[in-house]
Amino acid sequence: MLTVWGRADSSATARVMWALGETAQSCKRLDWGGAFGGGDDPAYRALSPPGRIPAITRDDGFSLWESGAIIRWLATTCPDVGLWPADEAARWQAEAWMDWSAAPGRAIGSVRTAYRRQTPDPAEMAKTIRAAAETFAVLDAQLQDRAFVMGDRLTVADLALGVVAHRWFRIPEALERPALPALEAWHQRLCARPAYQDHVVAKVSARAQTLGMGD
Ligand SMILES: N[C@@H](CCC(=O)N[C@@H](CS)C(=O)NCC(=O)O)C(=O)O
């Protein structure tokens, strides 16, 4: 049995829970981090050296931290699900998209920081949204002629990018941003997947409502 250590409304935990849902792996999730604390417990630091969530453990003592590494591990342990493109070139392109997912993550983080200031500065918000839009436009261009990041099926690249994209669409409607139609269509396709609904839309949105754009 797998145990996921991480509060459900963290974006890094959400992408691991989503990946577990897509691979039909059963697991137990422990509320950890944030208001639940635990990140500094020495026993937890042995699992996740920076004390960040999520980490996973298995009854036989196997453990792993960093959501990207956990998704890669899941993709290799569940090869039948096809989360790795079979073709070598496509597989490494998917890896590149996974690594690149840190860029929109940083961009949306800056929007959130500007939005959550006690007295938000409209100029700062507009600037951070413009910068985030430029970053998401890269993904929009990739999605022009395909259903998913690597083609016609969901891969690790979508799993790495789907949560941060959801946060883009959670930017309050009052804040102006350019339309990115291919990105939006892809997000709608993800929203049609039960595991994405359960672990990303329901959980990350709930936090966005209380804290402003989630985390
Ligand atoms: N790159 C890491 C990021 C981990 C991370 O920063 N997690 C955040 C939540 S999204 C965290 O641990 N925040 C502190 C906390 O919740 O206590 C990963 O993808 O696993």
Mean pLDDT of the chain, nearest integer: 94
Q: Give me the residue spans of the domains in the chain.
A: 2-80, 88-212
Query: From atom 9 of ligand 1, which residue's Cα is the shortest distance away?
Result: 10
Statement: residue 194 has pLDDT above 90: yes
Residue-wise pLDDT tens digits, 85-128: 999 999 999 999 999 999 999 999 999 999 999 999 999 999 99
Pocket test for ligand 1, best of 5, 9, 10, 11 (most atoms within 8 A of CB): 10
Residue 11 Cβ inside 6 Å of ligand 1? The answer reads yes
CA distances 51 to 40, 65, 126, 204, 208, Å, are 6, 9, 33, 21, 23
Residue 198 Cβ inside 6 Å of ligand 1? The answer reads no
Query: From atom 2 of ligand 1, which residue's Cα is the shortest distance away?
Result: 66
Predicted structure pTM score: 0.95
Residue 213 Cβ inside 6 Å of ligand 1? The answer reads no
Task: Locate 55 and state its tokens.
Answer: 């980490």
Q: Which CATH architecture has domain 2-80?
A: 3-Layer(aba) Sandwich (3.40)
Residue 52 Cβ inside 6 Å of ligand 1? The answer reads yes
Query: From atom 5 of ligand 1, which residue's Cα is the shortest distance away?
Result: 52
Residue 105 Cβ inside 6 Å of ligand 1? The answer reads no
Residue 33 Cβ inside 6 Å of ligand 1? The answer reads yes
Q: If you measure from the C-alpha of residue 145 to the centroid of ligand 1, how many angstroms do you get, rounded to a whole number?
A: 33
CATH class of 88-212: mainly alpha
Residue-wise pLDDT tens digits, 6-49: 999 999 999 999 999 999 999 999 999 999 999 999 999 999 99
Residue 109, pLDDT score? 94
Nearest atom in ligand 1 to the alpha carbon of residue 39 is 17
